[in-house]
Chain A
Amino acid sequence: MSQIPTTLFDKVWDSHVVRKIEDGPDVLFIDRHFIHEVTSPVAFLGLESRGLKVMFSGKTFATADHNTPTINQHLPVQDPLSANQLKALETNSAKYGISHWGLGNPKNGIVHVVGPENGITLPGMTIVCGDSHTSTHGAFGAIAFGIGTSEVEMVLSSQCIMQPKPKKMRINVNGKLGKGIVPKDVVLYIIAKLTAAGATGYFVEFAGEVFENMSMEGRMTVCNMSIEMGARGGMIAPDETTFAYIKGREKAPKDAAWDTALAYWKTLKTDEGAGFDLEYNFDAADIEPMITYGTNPGMGMGITRHIPVAAETGGSKASYEKSLEYMGFHEEDGMLGKKVDYIFVGSCTNGRIEDFRAFASIVKGRKKAEHITAWIVPGSHIVEQQIKEEGILDILTEAGFQLRQPGCSACLAMNDDKIPAGKYAVSTSNRNFEGRQGPGARTMLASPLVAAAAAVTGVVTDPRALMAE
């Protein structure tokens, strides 16, 4: 074939363009639409007020996650506003014939955890959800991104949204990751290098040995945080690791349909010589366990380092100082040894079984530091079940930790899981914005290993010091 070399992104995007508008957006067909209780009610109201129907109800999937409690889920939800949103999701789903995994359903969990684990997310798809971490699904070689509520209404009513085609960026990370360096560190490192706005306007492909050797769950962690550097989304070419993960999952293609799908999925990679608007190369050997010290995810650094001075950061000095003041930190402070009050393990970034295995590998045989409050929240009931079956729950219990029930929890603190004002949390979630985990809460983003090291020592600790040779 003498075709022009094409990127993975172009292959998937171009095959979904229903109409190109001159000097305007593309009309993009959407294969999978996830909805949750917080960003969908107004979209359904919009349908009602315009007298519109859902065009393809089978392409939308509903799950409750953002405001759900993580204890006593069998009881009525206490907060009347949250209960009202959950009810609206249930009612709207029933009315329009949309699959709904509500609170208490064995398939319930965080939207970006349950989509992949049930085989709803597949390579080559376009996937949207009214949630910016929809980029998670890019790990499968899908184009997946977050949308607003007006766009949720568009997808419900026409299965399309209108998007200007983003520019293309490729980020290559080659070499071998060191001991104690996990996917969360890789993505926090990249965001620290590019800044919180470094990929705005771009769709990113992650490539190179580090991602080729990474598990699907690790790839999801990386793609999940693409949005934290401003990217529209991130994706990784599907390979044998991807196909092995998907095969046999409930909603994955079976038999002849599997063979057809697989043949197509194998074409989904960037051709040799295809062009990108921007490309970065990083060396895996330069990546340390990472931690953030400020109030956006770009303010991250190797855990053994010192907080940079404003002049080194390139941004506005006033904004930088505001950020450190909020955190109660100072330029040139070291992070090791800083006191921690809370740890949160969970979220669509790090709420999958490998994350709990990693956490357990450090806390096994140790005890939770007395002053630490720990919230350990699985991403779904399926993950919760795995935690129990693999004996991880026993390790947690032995070390003084409790397991909560699935949901977004303290990642955005819409439920009762709020870090109190002024307290420090090491969190495996995705955002360290002011007040993100509760008004006045101070968040340090890190991997499950760093969270575990803090949980047992009570201070910011390099997890490598607690790992066996």
Chain B
Amino acid sequence: MAYDKFTVLKSSAVPMPIENVDTDQIIPARFLKATERKGFGDNLFRDWRYNTDGSEKKDFVLNNPIYSGKILVGGKNFGSGSSREHAAWAIYDYGFRCVVSSFFADIFKNNSLNIGILPVQVSAVFLDKIFTAIEANPAAELEVNLPEQKITILTTGESESFDINTYKKHNMTNGYDDIDYLQAMKSEIQLFAEKSMY
């Protein structure tokens, strides 16, 4: 599925300074039963967000109206655990286009890039600066500039560069995905397969 192009995103952000946010928290297994990719945002962080009777947990950040935006800022080791792409779908479906953390689990990072969410890995020091800036002003905006590979806290002017490989950057800025790429090299794959012992 192609996705929206990502170039420069300017938005306020939702802070979640918790370490090791695993994909079972992002979307619990009991909500993985759909056979279509829709509606997963409703169950994003389900058990942190809602009580068992369905009422909102007031102290959870997604239920706090002073925080909003298209950027989710998480603690170290974001997205660990299960390979469920549903976690990335839920984040996307809720309206986030970028997740910032000081460290991402590998599969979550791949899944995000594959569906058009930009994972931005920053230093632990810069992550703290972002949390501090949002604490000072919940409406503080961040600018994520993919072509320049730079993230800026607009209220303080502090910025840091981030890594992304050239291939993925090209995909994200143009809205291409890996399937498009692989389809274009089918004959090369066919030749390779003919030599395979398995």
**Which residue from B30, B167, B178 sits with its C-beta under 8 Å from A154?**
B178
**Could you tell me if A148 and B77 are in contact, using CB atoms closer than 8 angstroms?**
no
Contact of B93 with A by CB under 8 A: no
Other-chain residue from A29, A82, A439 in contact with B52 (beta carbon distance below 8 A)? A439
Task: Determine if B106 and A158 form an interchain contact, defined as CB atoms under 8 angstroms apart.
Answer: no
Q: In the complex the two chains form, what is the Cα distance from A25 to B109 in whole Å? A: 13
Q: Is there an interface contact between A148 and B85, defined as CB atoms closer than 8 Å? A: yes
- Interface members, chain B 159-198 (any A CB < 8 Å): 165-168, 177-179, 181-183, 185-186, 188-189, 192-193, 196-198
CB distance from A47 to the nearest CB of B (A): 9
Task: Decide yes or no: A88 and B35 within 8 Å by CB, A154-B178, A162-B181, A414-B30 being known contacts.
Answer: yes
B12 lies within 8 A of chain A by Cβ: no
Q: State the CA gap A39–B32 with chains docked (Å).
A: 8
Contact partner of A151 among B18, B106, B114, CB < 8 A? Answer: B114
Partner of A39, one of B25, B85, B168, B198: B85
State how many angstroms separate the Cβ of A261 from the closest Cβ of chain B: 7
User: A392 on the interface (CB 8 Å rule)?
Assistant: no
Q: Which of A79, A84, A145, A434 contacts B35 (CB 8 A)?
A: A84
Also in contact, A25 and B83, with CB within 8 A (given A315-B19, A319-B18, A414-B29) = no
Q: Are the CB atoms of A316 and B75 closer together than 8 Å?
A: yes
Q: Interface size (B, Cβ < 8 Å)?
A: 58
Task: Chain A residues near B107: list those with CB within 8 A.
Answer: 132, 145-148
Q: Can you list, as one digit per residue, whether each of B102-128 has a CB less than 8 Å from chain A (1) or not (0)?
A: 011111001100110000000000000
Give me 29 A-to-B residue pairs in the complex whose CB atoms sit less than 8 angstroms apart, sorted by A's number.
Answer: A18-B189, A25-B168, A31-B196, A39-B32, A42-B36, A45-B37, A46-B179, A52-B183, A134-B83, A145-B107, A147-B83, A150-B179, A151-B178, A159-B189, A162-B182, A196-B80, A197-B76, A200-B103, A260-B197, A261-B197, A264-B197, A296-B22, A315-B19, A316-B75, A421-B52, A431-B81, A433-B25, A439-B52, A440-B47
Query: What are the nearest 6 A-B pairs in CB distance?
Result: A24-B167, A148-B85, A146-B83, A81-B33, A148-B111, A150-B114
Binding site for A on B (CB under 8 A): 1, 17-20, 22, 24-25, 28-30, 32-37, 47, 52, 75-77, 80-86, 88, 103-107, 110-111, 114-115, 165-168, 177-179, 181-183, 185-186, 188-189, 192-193, 196-198
